[in-house]
């Protein structure tokens, strides 16, 4: 690194994007307006499962201000199919989603037609005039609830089944002193970024080029998919990333609209904008979680875990979208967690229903898996008469055992190992923070009408997916630096973090750095933001480019000053020679082009890890829960910007608590989504969970990348259900209530308490 | 979620507003704070051809406390009530209940008249109006009528309001100083509509016995209602733990809530009992023996 007074990496630099956001000068999709722009609205299926007999758009087309009504028939004989970006298992291929429904609809919200009009309001008026004749078919809303196959080619509604694992679980269970089996589930919910999706597509017919603004997450992948569907060359399409108000996994995947809006723009030869409204967001964007699990744990009587057997059942909704089977596969993979369990056997069943398709949401599969396992651990510890903290301490993988292989849990992935860490130390830190020793006597106690409970949840969390990321750095003529990166920015502060890395390496003041990101115009190829990879991969690519650019700058300065490189130092955007002569970056850049490309390739994943602890009270008469204290402790290897990591952790905890108590996409048995508005789909607001704490540690850097960073965006959510549900269960243990299913609503807890009471009376 | 096509007028006087409503018959709709109506328009659950904005009408924004009672204009917002220290003194039950209504943004715009006219079964204002024997002033083409809250509300989201009528104000009878009272509700998040709620008050005579008990509930039926059976238990009694438990048991039996996506009926029924116990204990300033 260069000679600078103070390195920015590792310090809580104020986010460079904040001034823009706080002053209202962000540039989001709905801020876009171009000459001649038209607006799209999408007719979505009002029924869950039906044959489309006829579509009559004539009345809509006749309305003033309506430019087009596009249905499957206008697209082509073969409707483009959305590809599998991740976990591309061949079993899923036939279940992929067409970009528009042609003969059948399979979920409420599936696109049937697109209206293009002078305004969004007119477009919505026209939606009401499109006549569709449906032949209703019976909806499938549960696993095995109906023998009616949703797809004609299939015998049933199971898309995929597989077994995975390591060791010999059957033998372990046969020889165990103690075995317990329980069924758990996490309800369907979604990420709910505050900004809904939005796109502006502009087709230039003379140049044969398409520009789509509002893309994010995996723009290069999406461009490839779109080019294929539209029969264009990739080079003829630019996907532009602007400000994005949250992604959390759901935003930026390739959705039907990512084809339909560009297609419409080309068809009407006018720019077309589409802003998803909240109602359609709730029925159209990926849903997630919705995993049920039967989990068995085998232990010795002293609490040593011997084996784990799990069956994971995933409601995938009506189609398999870009994320393939990631959600169930990760729910299975993370069942063992940070524990030494020598024998693991998991099976996965992904089944189709008449609901919105499922995709990844922050901590996909982990939120669920940690909840299942940590609940079962509390039950086992209690059965065996072992303190819940002691039980975990005994089974956590020790530092001496790392790297710890967890091969064979995911059929489409190669070998992988937990990398570095001190799981026990982080666990003890969480106990200390929550005041475990002082407060454990409160477990289940009734104080002033409410019962107290303290719960723990341990996790490991993978991040930093490969294969690579690219960056390009340019020293501008004015001496400022432009950083272009293939990673996407979705509001998480990546501009700042990348700026910090570049600033340290090149000794350029932070405020002279501009970060460009995501757009396909910036680089030949980029890989995007998911799996907590943007800092690990994009940050390392920026570091690589910065080191290369530094060499070029020094070389150029050496020519300029006539001194050898060895006598040169970079100080605050100047190159200074030992003899006192100096030249500014601006002067060097004026003389020649100073540009460097960087790349980082890596298939080794990072494993951050940590422990969450929650202290709650439950009002046993109403089922209302209060979170009195919450602590998340995580080792992220290296925190480039501790303030940003902290914000990520706190935000993730709130989002996770939403998943525990509030967020729930409720369907009836006809496949109708009953709460497609924020009046009924409840999310935590800023004031709902005021007492949350997070401690970020940098105990063991990642060996996989030069920054030593591990994923840091998801560890805050993955153990929230685990710790919180354990706390609620501990509070209600004296009432013989066990927690198996989320969300923990007051009516559900009340019902559990009543049922336990009734059982006790019957037994007596 | 854009509004259907409609016209908008913003009359300057009450007669003009009523005339506009009369001209359009059932196709016009009054808009006040818009916090309930705008979502219904955006979801296209309502499709009037004209909106008559009463926001500029004079005299509907005042709160006045006189010997006759407490008059609250239809355009008074939740925030106005929250800010009015005198009103909090004059009618503490109202202030306590209104503290539970909605979230900041909604509180700045939502109005007393809009809430009464919208008639959500879990809304606080209609609950207080029913509990406290409020009288409502309604002005229409054919004149003015004054109705009790009970007569005004006819069911879930329905009232006696005619197409050309505007609710102009609501009068709460004066509050007695030494009155015992409490308001209790449970909502999923602060500001959400209540899963159930209880407004309770009674007066104490020289012997320390309760009389004039008024117990109103929200969220457990298609409209707010009083529970006369519960009131009968309280009247003439010294309010102690026994009486409270009896009252709660009667309350549970007196309501017949429906299942919905937020709660099963049995939960609401039981919750109501718990809330009533807590409200009465607080009003009487006693501590109930802890259950479970
Ligand atoms: C997110 C959210 C949460 C909420 N939570 C709560 C809550 O917890 N408790 C609660 O009580 N309310 C709640 N509300 C509703 C809120 O209080 C509304 O403001 C209120 O119910 C309606 O008042 P308004 O002035 O906005 O009426 P508008 O929306 O303007 O009108 C509502 C209806 O009343 C009619 N109307 C309005 N004024 C008059 C009048 N003077 N004469 C005749 N008809 C009239 C309109 O034609 C319309 O049919 C919530 C609303 C939202 C959006």
pLDDT tens track for A670-704: 999 999 999 999 999 988 999 999 999 999 999 99
Q: Are residues A129 and A158 in the same domain?
A: no
| CA distances to A380, A456, A629 from A723, in Å | 16, 4, 11
The pLDDT of A646-654, averaged and rounded, is 97
Q: Are residues A451 and A595 in the same domain?
A: no
Q: What is the Å distance from ligand 1's center to B36 Cα?
A: 4
| Cα–Cα–Cα angle for A483, A489, A490, rounded to 5 degrees | 165
Q: What is the Å distance from ligand 1's center to A467 Cα?
A: 54
Cis peptide before B179 (omega within 30 of 0): no
Beta strand segments in chain B, E:
7-9, 28-31, 50-53, 63-66, 69-73, 135-140, 143-148, 153-155, 158-159, 166-172, 180-187, 194-204, 210-218, 225-226
- Indicate which residue's Cα is closest to atom 5 of ligand 1: B102
Q: Which site among B2, B37, B123, B192 would you substitute to test the A interface, given the most A Cβ atoms closer than 10 Å to its Cβ?
A: B2
Q: What is the Å distance from ligand 1's center to B251 Cα?
A: 28
| Chain B residue nearest residue A731, CA to CA | B292
The pLDDT of A105-115, averaged and rounded, is 98
Closest CA to B209 of B230, B237, B234, B233: B237
Mode of pairing for the β-strands spanning B135-140 and B143-148: antiparallel
Q: Would you say the CB of residue B276 lies under 6 angstroms from ligand 1?
A: no
Q: Of B4, B189, B274, which has the smallest distance from its Cβ to A685's Cβ?
A: B189
Q: Which residues contact A693 (CB under 8 A, 6 or more apart)?
A: A433, A629, A630, A631, A632
pLDDT at B290: 72
Is B270's CB within 8 Å of A750's CB? yes
pLDDT at A88: 85
Residue A520's domain comprises 466-601
Residue A467 reports pLDDT greater than 80:
yes
Q: Check residues B292 and A738 and name the one with the higher pLDDT.
A: A738
Question: Can you tell me the ipTM of this complex?
Answer: 0.97
Q: Which site among B271, B275, B291 would you substitute to test the A interface, given the most A Cβ atoms closer than 10 Å to its Cβ?
A: B271
Q: Are residues A637 and A750 in the same domain?
A: yes
Q: Are residues A500 and A585 in the same domain?
A: yes
At A113 the three-state DSSP class reads: strand
Q: Please, where in chain B does CATH 3.30.390.50 lie?
A: 183-284
In a domain, residue A241? The reply is yes
Residue B116 reports pLDDT greater than 60:
yes
Residue A147 reports pLDDT greater than 80:
no
Options 3.30.470.20, 3.20.20.70, 3.30.420.40, 3.30.390.50; CATH of B183-284? 3.30.390.50
Q: Would you say the CB of residue B161 lies under 6 angstroms from ligand 1?
A: yes
pLDDT at A4: 46
- Could you give the CA distance from residue B197 to residue B219 in angstroms, rounded to a whole number? 6
Closest CA to A531 of A479, A462, A473: A462
Token pair for A47: 């029924």
The pLDDT of A370-383, averaged and rounded, is 98
Is A624's CB within 8 Å of B186's CB? yes
Mode of pairing for the β-strands spanning A272-275 and A198-204: antiparallel
Is A278's CB within 8 Å of B263's CB? no
Cis peptide before A743 (omega within 30 of 0): yes
Final residue in a domain of this structure, among A220, A254, A284: A284
Q: Would you say the CB of residue B17 lies under 6 angstroms from ligand 1?
A: no
Question: Per mean pLDDT, which range of A359-363, A527-531, A550-554 is the poorest?
Answer: A527-531
| B192 vs A contacts (CB less than 8 Å) | 682
Q: Which atom of ligand 1 is nearest to the CA of B138?
A: 42
Is A124's CB within 8 Å of B2's CB? yes
Q: Are residues A689 and A751 in the same domain?
A: yes
pLDDT at B255: 97
- Could you give the CA distance from residue A306 to residue A297 in angstroms, rounded to a whole number? 8
Residue A6 reports pLDDT greater than 80:
no
Is A279's CB within 8 Å of B190's CB? no
Is B267's CB within 8 Å of A746's CB? yes
- Could you give the CA distance from residue A210 to residue A105 in angstroms, rounded to a whole number? 29
Q: Are residues A133 and A61 in the same domain?
A: yes
Token pair for A745: 């609503």
Residue A1 reports pLDDT greater than 50:
no
Q: Please, where in chain B does CATH 3.30.43.10 lie?
A: 7-53
Q: Are residues A449 and A572 in the same domain?
A: no
- Could you give the CA distance from residue B287 to residue B291 in angstroms, rounded to a whole number? 11
Q: What is the Å distance from ligand 1's center to B255 Cα?
A: 25
In a domain, residue A305? The reply is yes
Final residue in a domain of this structure, among A284, A313, A329: A284
Residue A482 reports pLDDT greater than 70:
yes
Final residue in a domain of this structure, among A577, A601, A625: A601
State the maximum Cα–Cα separation within chain A, in Å, rounded to a whole number. 96
In a domain, residue A407? The reply is no
Q: What is the Å distance from ligand 1's center to B163 Cα?
A: 17
Strand order in the sheet with A209-213: A66-71, A111-117, A38-44, A272-275, A198-204, A209-213, A237-240
Token pair for A183: 């069924």
At B232 the three-state DSSP class reads: helix
Task: Say if domain B63-172 classifies as CATH 3.30.465.10.
Answer: yes
- Could you give the CA distance from residue A750 to residue A728 in angstroms, rounded to a whole number? 12
At A202 the three-state DSSP class reads: strand
Q: Of B3, B266, B291, which has the smallest distance from its Cβ to A121's Cβ?
A: B3
DSSP A118-137: SSHHHHHHHHTT-EEEEEE-
Is A746's CB within 8 Å of B1's CB? no
Q: Are residues A310 and A229 in the same domain?
A: no
pLDDT at A144: 83
Q: Would you say the CB of residue B37 lies under 6 angstroms from ligand 1?
A: yes
Q: What is the dihedral of CA A492, A498, A503, A509, to 10 degrees?
A: -40
The pLDDT of A549-576, averaged and rounded, is 96
pLDDT at A3: 45
In a domain, residue A23? The reply is no
Q: Are residues A205 and A184 in the same domain?
A: no
Q: Of B2, B4, B189, which has the smallest distance from its Cβ to A688's Cβ?
A: B189
Q: Which atom of ligand 1 is nearest to the CA of B35?
A: 26
CATH class for the domain made up of B7-53: alpha beta
The pLDDT of A384-411, averaged and rounded, is 97
In a domain, residue A19? The reply is no
Q: What is the dihedral of CA A22, A23, A26, A31, to 10 degrees?
A: 120
Q: Are residues A422 and A390 in the same domain?
A: no
Q: Please, where in chain B does CATH 3.30.465.10 lie?
A: 63-172
Q: Are residues A447 and A508 in the same domain?
A: no
Is B2's CB within 8 Å of A747's CB? no
In a domain, residue A698? The reply is yes
- Average pLDDT taken over every residue of chain B: 96
CB atoms within 10 A of CB A302: 11
Query: The domain spanning residue A212 has which CATH number?
Result: 3.90.1170.50
The pLDDT of A177-186, averaged and rounded, is 98
| Chain B residue nearest residue A661, CA to CA | B188
- Could you give the CA distance from residue A745 to residue A684 in angstroms, rounded to a whole number? 13
pLDDT at A148: 81
- Indicate which residue's Cα is closest to atom 50 of ligand 1: B102
Counting the structural domains of chain A, the total is 4
CB atoms within 10 A of CB B80: 20
- Could you give the CA distance from residue A66 to residue A309 in angstroms, rounded to a whole number? 58
Q: Are residues A710 and A735 in the same domain?
A: yes
Closest CA to B189 of A746, A288, A283: A746
Q: Would you say the CB of residue B77 lies under 6 angstroms from ligand 1?
A: no
* Contact by Cβ (8 Å): A660, A132: no
Query: The domain spanning residue A719 has which CATH number?
Result: 3.30.365.10
CB atoms within 10 A of CB A80: 21
Query: What pLDDT digit, counting tens, does each position of A10-37 carry?
Result: 999 999 999 999 999 999 999 999 999 9
In a domain, residue A186? The reply is yes
- Could you give the CA distance from residue B237 to residue A280 in angstroms, rounded to a whole number? 56
In a domain, residue A739? The reply is yes
Residue linked to tokens 């080019």: A227
Query: What pLDDT digit, counting tens, does each position of B175-199 carry?
Result: 998 999 999 999 999 999 999 999 9
- Could you give the CA distance from residue A537 to residue A539 in angstroms, rounded to a whole number? 6
Q: How far does the CA of residue B168 sit from the closest CA of chain A (Å)?
A: 28
């Amino acid at each position: 690194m260069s000679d600078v007074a103070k390195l920015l990496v590792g310090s809580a630099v104020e986010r460079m994007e904040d001034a823009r956001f706080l002053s209202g000068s962000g540039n989001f999709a709905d801020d876009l307006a171009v000459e001649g722009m038209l607006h799209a609205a999408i007719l979505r299926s009002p029924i869950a499962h039906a044959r489309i007999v006829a579509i009559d758009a004539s009345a809509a087309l006749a309305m003033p201000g309506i430019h087009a009504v596009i249905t499957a028939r206008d697209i082509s004989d073969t409707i483009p199919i959305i590809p599998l970006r991740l976990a591309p298992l061949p079993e899923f291929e036939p279940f992929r989603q067409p970009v528009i429904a042609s003969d059948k609809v399979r979920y409420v919200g599936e696109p049937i037609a697109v209206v293009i009009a002078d305004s969004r309001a007119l477009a919505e008026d026209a939606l009401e005039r499109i006549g569709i004749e449906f032949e209703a078919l019976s909806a499938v809303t549960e696993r095995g609830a109906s023998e009616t196959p949703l797809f004609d080619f299939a015998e049933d509604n199971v898309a995929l089944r597989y077994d995975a694992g390591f060791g010999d679980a059957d033998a372990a269970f046969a020889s165990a002193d103690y075995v317990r089996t329980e069924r758990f589930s996490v309800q369907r919910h979604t990420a709910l970024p505050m900004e809904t999706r939005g796109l502006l597509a502009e087709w230039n017919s003379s140049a044969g080029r398409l520009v789509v603004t509002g893309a994010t997450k995996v723009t290069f992948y999406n461009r490839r998919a779109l080019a294929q569907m539209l029969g264009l060359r990739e080079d003829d399409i630019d996907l532009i990333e602007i400000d994005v108000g949250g992604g959390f996994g759901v935003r930026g995947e390739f959705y039907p609209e990512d084809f339909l809006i560009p297609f419409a723009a080309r068809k009407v030869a006018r720019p077309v904008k589409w802003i998803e409204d909240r109602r359609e967001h709730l029925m159209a964007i990926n849903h997630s979680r919705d995993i049920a699990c039967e989990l068995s744990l085998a232990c010795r009587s002293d609490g040593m875990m011997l084996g784990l057997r799990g069956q994971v059942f995933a409601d995938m909704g009506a189609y398999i979208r870009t994320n393939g089977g990631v959600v169930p596969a990760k729910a299975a993979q993370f069942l063992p967690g940070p524990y030494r369990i020598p024998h693991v056997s998991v099976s996965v069943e992904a089944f189709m229903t008449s609901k919105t398709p499922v995709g990844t949401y922050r901590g996909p599969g982990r939120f669920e898996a940690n909840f299942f396992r940590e609940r079962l651990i509390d039950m086992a510890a209690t059965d065996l008469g072992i303190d819940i903290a002691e039980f975990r301490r005994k089974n956590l993988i020790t530092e001496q055992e790392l790297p710890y292989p967890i091969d064979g849990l995911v059929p489409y992935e190669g070998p992988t190992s937990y990398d570095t860490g001190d799981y026990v130390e982080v666990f003890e830190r969480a106990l200390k923070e929550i005041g475990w020793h002082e407060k454990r006597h409160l477990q289940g106690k009734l104080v002033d009408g409410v019962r107290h409970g303290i719960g723990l949840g341990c996790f490991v969390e993978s991040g930093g997916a490969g294969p690579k990321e690219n960056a390009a750095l340019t020293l501008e003529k004015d001496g400022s630096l432009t950083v272009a990166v293939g990673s996407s920015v979705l509001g998480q502060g990546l501009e700042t973090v990348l700026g910090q890395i570049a600033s340290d390496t090149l000794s350029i003041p932070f405020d002279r750095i501009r970060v460009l990101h995501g757009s396909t115009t910036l680089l030949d190829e980029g890989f995007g933001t998911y799996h907590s990879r943007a800092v690990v991969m994009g940050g390392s690519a920026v570091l690589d480019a910065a080191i290369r650019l530094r060499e070029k700058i020094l070389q150029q300065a050496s020519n300029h000053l006539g001194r050898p490189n060895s006598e040169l130092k970079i100080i605050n955007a100047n190159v200074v020679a030992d003899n006192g002569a100096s030249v500014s970056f601006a002067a060097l850049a004026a003389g020649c082009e100073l540009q460097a490309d960087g790349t980082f390739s890596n298939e080794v994943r990072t494993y951050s890890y940590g422990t969450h602890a929650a202290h709650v009270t439950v009002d046993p008469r109403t089922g209302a829960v209060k979170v009195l204290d919450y602590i998340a402790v995580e080792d992220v290897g290296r925190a480039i910007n501790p303030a940003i990591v902290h914000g990520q952790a706190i935000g993730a905890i709130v989002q996770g608590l939403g998943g525990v108590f509030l967020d729930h996409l409720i369907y009836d048995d006809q496949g109708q989504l009953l709460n497609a508005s924020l009046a009924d789909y409840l999310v935590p607001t800023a004031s709902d969970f005021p007492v949350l704490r997070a401690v970020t540690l940098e105990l063991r850097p990642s060996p996989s990348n030069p920054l030593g960073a591990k994923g840091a965006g998801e560890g805050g959510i993955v153990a929230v259900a685990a710790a919180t549900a354990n706390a609620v269960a501990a509070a209600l243990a004296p009432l013989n209530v066990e927690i198996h299913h989320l969300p923990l609503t007051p009516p559900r807890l009340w019902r559990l308490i009543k049922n336990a009471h009734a059982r006790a009376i019957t037994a007596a | 979620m854009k509004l259907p096509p409609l016209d908008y007028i913003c009359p300057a006087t009450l007669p003009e507003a009523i005339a506009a409503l009369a001209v359009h018959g059932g196709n016009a709709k009054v808009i006040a704070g818009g916090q309930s109506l705008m979502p219904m328009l955006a979801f296209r659950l309502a499709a009037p051809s004209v909106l008559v904005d009463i926001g500029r009408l004079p005299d509907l924004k005042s709160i006045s406390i006189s010997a006759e009672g407490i008059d609250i204009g239809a355009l008074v917002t939740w925030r106005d009530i929250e800010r009015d220290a005198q009103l909090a003194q004059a009618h503490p039950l109202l202030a306590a209940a209104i503290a539970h209504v909605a979230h900041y943004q909604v509180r700045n715009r939502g109005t007393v008249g809009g809430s009464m006219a919208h008639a959500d079964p879990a809304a606080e204002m209609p609950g207080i109006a029913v509990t406290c024997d409020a009288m409502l002033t309604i002005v229409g083409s054919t004149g003015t009528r004054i109705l009790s809250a009970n007569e005004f509300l006819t069911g879930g989201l329905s009232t006696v309001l005619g197409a050309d009528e505007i609710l102009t104000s609501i009068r709460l009878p004066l509050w007695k100083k030494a009155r015992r009272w409490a308001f209790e509700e449970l909502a999923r998040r602060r500001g959400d509509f209540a899963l159930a709620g209880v407004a309770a008050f009674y007066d104490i005579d020289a012997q320390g016995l309760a009389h004039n008990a008024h117990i109103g509930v929200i969220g457990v039926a298609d409209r707010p209602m009083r529970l006369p059976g519960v009131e009968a238990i309280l009247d003439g009694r010294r309010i102690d733990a026994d009486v409270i438990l009896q009252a709660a048991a009667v309350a549970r039996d007196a309501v017949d809530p429906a299942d919905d996506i937020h709660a099963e009926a049995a939960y609401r029924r039981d919750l109501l009992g718990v809330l009533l116990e807590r409200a009465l204990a607080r009003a009487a300033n006693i501590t109930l023996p802890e259950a479970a």
